[in-house]
Structure 1
Amino acid sequence: MSNEHYLQNAMIHRDRRLGRRHTNWVNQFDCTHISPLIICRGPIRKEAMDVFTEMGISHFGILLSEKDSIVYQDALAPELRSLTAPDRVHRVPDYTGANKEERDQRIAQIINIAKENGYNAIFAGYGFMAEDEAMVAAMERAGLNFIGPCSRTVHDAGLKDEAKRTALKAGVSVTPGIDNGTALTLLKKHPDVAALKALAAEHGLSVDEAKLDDDSIELADKADLVLAASYIKGVDIYTVDELCATLTEAVDKMAAEYPANRIRLKAISGGGGKGQRILGIGESGRTPEMVREILNEVKTTGVGDNKNVLVELNIETTRHQEIQVVGNGEWSMTMGGRDCSLQMHEQKLLEVSVTVESLEAAIEQARASGNAIELKVLEQDLETLVAMEDEATRFGEAVGLDSVSTFECIVDRDKHFFMEMNTRIQVEHRVTELCYSLKFSNPDNSEDSFVVESLVELMVLLAAHGPKLPRPERAPRYNDSVEARLNATNQALQPSAGGVIEYWSDAVEGEIRDDQGISLHNPDTDVFMKYTLAGAYDSNIALLLTVGDTRLDTYERMAEVIRQTNMRGKDLATNLEFHYGLVNWFIGQNINARPTTRFIVPYLTAVGELKQRANNLDLGYAWQQICKAELASSTGDAAAALKSSLDLKHTLLLRPLEMLLAEPHILAGWLSINRDSYTMVEGKISWNENPLELLDDTYHFLNMDYISGAPASSMIWDHDNDVLRQALDFYAELNNRLDAEDWIEFQSILASEDAPEGINSEMWAQIRGAHAGYQAGVDILAVLPSIAEATAYYALCVNDDLTINIPERLEDGELQEAMAKILVPPPVAKSDEILAESGGMFYGRETPEHELYVKEGDHFEAGDPLFIVEVMKMFNKVYAPFSGTIDTVLVETDGVIIGKGQPIFKITPDEKIVVESPDDIAARRRSVTGEFLGQLV
């Protein structure tokens, strides 16, 4: 169903559910007295506006950041098309501030806005300060109702170091590592209680001395008490250099204990991929560099900031799963899980529901089919899910969870480890709420009840009436759901700031689209309103969701949604094509596959290899050679008829091929679902199905079905459609007359000059002639499987135990980097300059306190860091592609916006860069095309 249908149905159901049945027990949970100020952005802001309206909450407002508003045409956010009252829109410089001082200022500003405008509650969604303990505490002190976990829960569960300690006390499994690097750093210089007391006195810190003297409290915990006091006062009692030294020692120790594993560094206040780095094997020397990058990225470099960074073992076969937890401060419960393993750079891409009901159905299917290996894996997954839900419930109770949070785990086959708790609603929360609703019943009368299907609605209920709410019963809605994050990224999934969405097709049946209102048309003209993307915050454009009775149903519906989605614009790059290819890869392989968090980069590398091979094929030359070979075997009228047939089919056959060769992600999806369409026989490509039927499916796959009156550029051309329909009708009729099991037998019958029973010889000659004409030129379609064979694409596959076989070559870092450049070629530069490969915010140094990476006159080696680009909340360090000398620095000031392709340095390379000549390129393409032609039967 479309987003509009979803919201309409939600309103109907909510009328029946919440506060409108007019029973005294239900009516006590009315929430119309809540007046929230929404201090988040993106899809969750629009969702909150819709849910609040549906709940009867009429007085709410939104913050609008100046950085946010510049994204939109005429400084108008999409949400403002529905929220037209100017006094309910409150502009701020940004949402969170760049440092502690600015954050404190923004918190005070938000409180003032709320007080002055009659708001009694704050909704922070999943962004910015949603997990900021200081902000939540400030809201509570100001008498505002924070719609989310309270400050105690945020402290105990939201800070990654505190959460790990709480998990240990609650009997929850955790990953090996240290969570108290700052305490250990402090104890190096102040190794006992007396020294800690002296330090506190020196800086005038308010510390409970009774706790310092309590022998039952460990020394490291006492150091944490002193640290907490220093953060409150805003003073530093350790240096970043000292912290880096401590963490480097921890990394060295862990590397010695686990030599086959990489090590993860993680800021306690990070999230959403921010503030995390992974050290490769033997890279402990890079720990200080990585720690500084992390602190800079999460903006905790100021005086008095908590700079603690966790050191954790990186589980190499990690599956990232999370459990949705809800509670009212007394009871806590779970709502199933989500698999978020399909991610890159810690940024989630495709999220899939994991529920008891879905796993039980998959188990029964595996048992019925006799698939013992898959059955064992699925049964273990069910056991793991139940264990994680149990631990999440206990953890929620331990931290007094009084709202909605997420218990995140990493899963390694039959083991799982608690990773962190996100004390906020998640981007992917819809994945859960589409699988389960919550039924709240009167303890004295089970017939007296109401149902909640929205987690945002649940958050409001808990904030308004938490202590009175009885523990609900979860009820299944759909067995499976999946969410694809539509992001502003290029083909290599690198953030791509800028670009304008000039058109976006409407949501189709079966699609749930959360897009912060971008799809809303002009209410007067019903015209799509252009939307400009920018890199001030994150790369997300929209969330696309589908549901189904099985995971396969859900994925097939997602593939259909993306197939029909049409988005175009100026300088626009999104990951829509990537999602189409990825979803179809799983459909073509095994929908129950268990990818790890390391899957996407090898997958992208395989897609890059497809693109590299496609770039080296000369399709026009291949077509000429195929036509030449076919015409050489005919003479006279037959040759003339054959040439006419080939001419008629030129665009019919080549147009879809050209599109597939130009779009590697779509090609990857096509190959994935058409693996069984051919067989290699002695080095030759042999079709297992009629290639013309495959061609028809290909036009559909590319969303190019013939629609009368549609733009010719977006569909099969009418004369090509006539030719294809005639051919398909011919074979449909012939199939009714010939007794053939499959295409291979069908061809064998047609190869014989002897007419089959029921067809006279004259008719049989005509049939064979028509067959030859219809099949003329179709050999060109074999270019697609030839690419798969040349790149060993199908070696990336799902094993019997549902793990994924990743060929060793796809793990090679140099190949990964090279294929990323094939997918997104860097801007063409002169031999004496280095260009920006993406737009964003430029920084020439590690932190403001550090020296510039390079300056005029400096010599650099290949691999040396040159500058940093901050784009869509991520810091991307740019390394030198070759060695040389800096002649001129063209961007001298930190914090300025640069554009893709903008010259950054004038340089003199150490060696002359050799550029391949056009003749060399043409010769290479002819050679590769010749290899393909040699595979034709």
Structure 2
Amino acid sequence: MFSKILIANRGEIACRVIRTAQKLGISTVAVYSDADAHALHVGMADEAVNIGPAPVTDSYLRADHIIKAALDTGAEAIHPGYGFLSENPGFVDAVVKAGLVFIGPSADSIRAMGLKDAAKRLMEKAGVPVVPGYHGEAQELVVLASKAREIGYPVLIKARAGGGGKGMRKVDSPDDFAEALGSARREAKSAFGDDRVLVEKYIAKPRHIEVQVFGDNHGNAVHLYERDCSLQRRHQKVIEEAPAPGITAEMREAMTGAAVKAAQAIKYSGAGTIEFIVDATEGLRPDRFWFMEMNTRLQVEHPVTEMVTGLDLVEWQLRVAAGEKLPLAQANIPLNGHSIEVRLYAEDPAKSFLPATGTLYHLAFPNAVKDGAVRVETGVRSGDEISPFYDPMIAKLVVHGADRAAALRAMQNALSETEVAGTVTNTAFLAALVRHPGFAAGDVDTGLIDRDLAGLIAPVAIEAGAKELAILFASGLLKRPVSTDPWTALRGYSHHATLAYPVMLEENGAITRYEVSVLGDERYGISSPADTQELRVRHGPATWHVTGKGINLHAKAMTIPHGVAVLAKGAAATFSVADPFLLAEAAGGGGDRLAAPMPGLVKSVRFAVGDQVKKGQVLLVLEAMKMEHSITAPHDGRIAEIASEGTQVKEKSSLVRFEDAGNDSSKI
């Protein structure tokens, strides 16, 4: 076994590999970019080496930097994780040439499966069922169109290289073929540098079922059962589970047998996944599945296989790469219960799943993690930043149950207990998917999300009382007394009248003033220009309980920069709070600059250098924490500098500077 390995990756997979290495007594070397200097995987490893600036092309894709780091630190082998260089045969060759071990398959195996058309021809020779289609070399429009007619519409045009749904087009009619082909080719060329395509029969009700395979360097190959990855959006997996719902013993035997045959055809060593497309129009039948492609690496969703088999796939990778035989024969690999995994992302489902950035001011996972009922794979913690440079995954939540119904209940609970403040997430979308009647019944296919997208991304409002709790929290009145001094304990006491504590809340670009008063023990009043309400607030072990007219809220509240976050049952709401003293100072004419109150993106700019502006006019709009904030002129003045539209700014960065006109009335 190795004594030291380097992990050529970042985030949750780097942390995942480090944990297994530590269990086996193997020292670890992490690599990191400038942006990841304080990342979780860096702190977990025994050593860490900087490999370049934040962009992946300058760091995590620099094979030369990674190999040098391994040699300089005395590492014997390199684990690629997934993504980045994990399926790059040139990298494998370079690792081996440097005298190191690549923890994964050979470069020849990766090349054999790297192009979809060549891989399918190879699988056909090996007797593995392949989707009816054209996988030949001819790429002329007339040839491809003719093959599409032979196959029968609808057909699917697919890029021969790469993945992720790029260069893929469904075509329903011969009249649309030429345009779709041109579009697919352009996208494939841009994404993979290769515009060649293949044409396949489109499956009306497709399910995506894959088989985990493992091989060693002694001629052994086994499967570790199947995973269902049918819940996808734009060909990207969202939820994975094992075993596949509704699979029969006959179907499993046929599919896993084909997968092992595929691995043996290329003398595969290490962890790999054979992906099949299944026609589920008549249920799961052993004559209705076809090879799609092979992923020659560990998969993102490998934890569900680990949960149902009780095996550590990273440990198997390390043992195989070190020259050992597979730890278990096929007959000894168990299959117990059911496991489901969801991918928690910093993204906004309501805005076409736009990736989000931001600081994770609060991140907490289900209590069940402590007893092993829920598994969390993450590479971040509270206080970390979701940067624009990398995949915005926050964590993978993985549950296990005695059966699928138990696993579904466990996942519903896990999502309701997951708390994220500081960035928008897809938590509510995942919760809606887990509750979806079709998914709950196991009636899934790759089109489910697109068909029901509107309902799945419908906004989920946090419970009534969230804003009121935020106002009370911002007032400072909910903080417990720090001493027994009566003047400290009686925070709302006044001889002549009830004291009112102002809270300025920014709502839809405007500032609303609220006044909070203490009415008695655990009783508070909130007044605004619109109304007045009375609330009772009690504090439990971890949450606040707020009751009032139409309000019965149990939630957490916490101060974050420039606001308050309220979290309840997996939902989160952020309220921006303006400092009344700063507002008063601005109104009085202090300073000639306006600074960004928090990191954000300049969404729009209303004025230009040299423009004369009036007090209260909106100068620009800053998007921060997925909210838009209007930056207004504190009083009259002429603009000397103003941030450009589309600029990403840090907290306290200068947004606007006004001309210094001496004693002129325009000076601000």
TM range (shorter): 0.5 to 0.7
Give the greater-gyration-radius structure (CA): 1
Q: Are 1:504 and 1:566, in contact at CA under 8 Å, matched by a contact in 2?
A: yes
Structure 1 equivalent of residue 261 of structure 2: 394
Unaligned residue ranges in structure 1 (runs of 5+): 1-30, 70-74, 186-245, 301-305, 360-377, 438-452, 520-528, 615-704, 725-826, 840-889, 900-937
After superposition, the C-alpha distances for 1:531-562 in whole angstroms (9 at most, x for unaligned) are 22123232321100100011000010000111
Q: Equivalents in 2 of 1:334, 1:408: separation in Å?
A: 13
Aligned position for 1:37: 6
Partner of 1:601: 450
- Number of the residue aligned with 1:275: 166
Query: After superposition, where does 1:218-233 map in structure 2 within 5 Å?
Result: none
Aligned to 1:141: 97
Work out whether residues 205 and 446 of structure 2, in 8 Å CA contact, stay in contact via their aligned partners in 1. Answer: yes
The counterpart of 1:63, out of the listed 26, 31, 42, is 31
Identify the structure with bigger relative contact order (alpha carbons < 8 Å, sequence gap 6+): 1
CA distance in 2, matches of 1:391, 1:153: 17
Structure-1 separation of matches of 2:96 and 2:242: 34
The answer to whether 1:427 aligns with 2:300 is yes
**Paired amino acid for 1:581:** A
In structure 1, the partner of 2:87 is 131
Matches within 5 A, 1:530-679: 530-569=383-422, 572-586=423-437, 591-607=440-456
Structure 1 counterpart SS, 2:166: strand
* Aligned-partner Cα distance in 2 for 1:898–1:315: 44
CA distance in 2: counterparts of 1:79 and 1:397, whole angstroms:
35
The answer to whether structure 1 residue 118 and structure 2 residue 80 are counterparts is: no
What's the counterpart of residue 115 of structure 2? 159
TM-aligned CA distance change 1:721 to 1:37, over 3 Å: same
The answer as to 2:277 corresponding to 1:410 is yes
Change (3 A) 1:496 1:250: farther
SS at match of 1:717: strand
Query: In 1, Cα distance between the equivalents of 2:166 and 2:439?
Result: 34
Match of 1:80 in 2: 42
1:344 matched residue in structure 2: 233
Conserved? CA contact 1:402–1:466, under 8 Å: no
One-letter code of the match for 2:243?
Answer: V
In structure 2, relative to structure 1, the CA distance for the partners of 1:457 and 1:577 (3 Å cut) is same
1:206-221 equivalent positions in 2, closer than 5 A: none
1:4-403 to structure 2, matched below 5 A, reads: 31=1, 33-58=2-27, 60-66=28-34, 68-69=35-36, 75-83=37-45, 85=47, 88-93=48-53, 97=57, 106-180=62-136, 183-184=137-138, 246=140, 248-258=141-151, 260-268=153-161, 270-271=162-163, 273=164, 275-281=166-172, 282-298=176-192, 300=193, 308-329=196-217, 330-354=219-243, 378=246, 381-403=248-270
The 1:489/1:158 distance shift into structure 2, 3 A limit, reads: same
1:547 and 1:595 map into 2 onto residues whose CA distance is 19
Amino acid at match of 2:138: L
Distance 1:598 1:723 in 2: 37
Structure 1 residues 513 and 138: CA distance shift in structure 2, 3 A: same
1:710 is displaced (CA, Å) by: 4.7
1:45 Cα offset (Å): 0.4
TM-score scaled by structure 1? 0.47
Distance 1:607 1:349, change over 3 A: closer
Aligned 8 A contact 1:276 1:294 in 2: yes
Contact 2:231 2:446 (8 Å CA) reproduced: yes
Structure 1 ranges of 4+ moved more than 6 A: 718-724, 827-830, 835-839, 896-899
* 2:9 alignment partner, SS class: coil
What is the Cα deviation at residue 606 of structure 1?
Answer: 3.3
Match of residue 859 from structure 1: none
Matched, 1:481 2:332: no
* Residue of structure 2 in register with 1:505 after alignment: 364
- In 2, Cα distance between equivalents of 1:385 and 1:837: 54
Separation in 2 of the partners of 1:354 and 1:837?
46
Structure 2 counterpart of 1:433, which letter?
E
Equivalent-residue separation in structure 2 for 1:707 and 1:382 (angstroms): 53
Q: 1:61 to 1:249 in 2, by over 3 A?
A: farther
How many angstroms does 1:337 deviate by? 0.7
Counterpart AA for 1:511: V
Residue pair 1:251, 1:263 contacting (<8 A) in 2 also = no
Query: Which whole-Å CA distance do the structure 2 matches of 1:828 and 1:386 have between them?
Result: 59
**TM-score, length basis structure 2:** 0.65
Match of 2:314 among 456, 465, 468: 456
- CA distance in 2 between counterparts of 1:314 and 1:533 reads 38
- Select 1:436's aligned residue among 295, 304, 309: 309
Q: Tell whether the 8 Å contact from 2:185 to 2:196 is kept in structure 1 after alignment.
A: no
Map Cα deviations across residues 606-630 of structure 1 (whole Å, 9 max, x no partner).
346x669x9xxxxxxxxxxxxxxxx
Q: How has the CA–CA distance of structure 1 residues 403 and 891 changed in structure 2, closer, same or farther, with 3 Å as cutoff?
A: farther
* Alignment of structure 1 residues 824-863 onto 2, 5 Å: none
Please give the per-residue CA displacement for 1:738-773, whole angstroms capped at 9, x wherever unaligned.
xxxxxxxxxxxxxxxxxxxxxxxxxxxxxxxxxxxx
1:717 equivalenced with 2:547 (yes/no): yes
* Structure 2 counterpart SS, 1:547: strand
Separation in structure 2 between the aligned mates of residue 836 and residue 605 of structure 1, nearest angstrom: 28
> Are residues 556 and 264 of structure 1, via their aligned partners in 2, closer, same or farther at CA, if it must alter by over 3 Å?
farther
Contact 1:95 1:128 (8 Å CA) reproduced:
no
**How far apart are the structure 1 equivalents of 2:403 and 2:605?**
50
Q: Which amino acid aligns with 1:508?
A: N
Considering only aligned residues, what root-mean-square deviation do their CA atoms show, in Å? Answer: 3.5
User: Could you list the per-position Cα deviations for residues 131-166 of structure 1 after superposition, in whole angstroms to 9, with x for gaps in the alignment?
Assistant: 111111221222211001111211223432332122
Q: Provide the secondary structure at the position in 1 that maps to 2:25.
A: coil
Is the Cα contact below 8 Å between 1:338 and 1:351 reproduced in 2? yes
Aligned residue runs from structure 1 range 762-911, under 5 A = none
- What SS is found at the alignment partner of 1:434? helix
Structure with the bigger percentage of helix: 1
In structure 2, the residue matched to 1:916 is none
The percent of aligned pairs where both chains have the same amino acid is: 28
Of 595-604 and 489-498, more deviation after overlay is shown by: 489-498
CA-CA distance at 1:495 after TM superposition: 2.8
Q: Following the alignment from structure 1 to structure 2, what is the Cα–Cα distance between the partners of residues 344 and 836? A: 31
Shift of 1:482: 0.2
Contact 2:344 2:397 in 1 (8 A): yes
Aligned partners of 1:314, 1:431: CA distance in 2, in Å? 28
Partners of 1:279 and 1:891 lie apart in 2 by: 40
- 1:464 shift after superposition: 0.2
Query: Is this contact kept in 1: 2:277–2:289, CA < 8 A?
Result: yes
SS at 1:291's partner residue? helix
Q: What residue is the counterpart of 2:527 in the other structure? A: none
Q: SS in structure 1 opposite 2:157?
A: strand
Question: 1:716 Cα deviation (Å)?
Answer: 5.0
- Tell me if structure 2 keeps the 8 A contact 1:328–1:469: no
Q: Structure 1 residues 397 and 496, CA, compared in 2 at 3 Å: closer, same or farther?
A: same
**1:676-715 aligned within 5 A:** 708=540, 710-712=542-544, 715=545
> In the superposition, relative to structure 1, how do residues 706 and 324 fare at CA in structure 2: closer, same or farther (>3 Å)?
farther
- Compute the displacement of 1:720 (Å): 7.4
Q: Which amino acid aligns with 2:51?
A: R
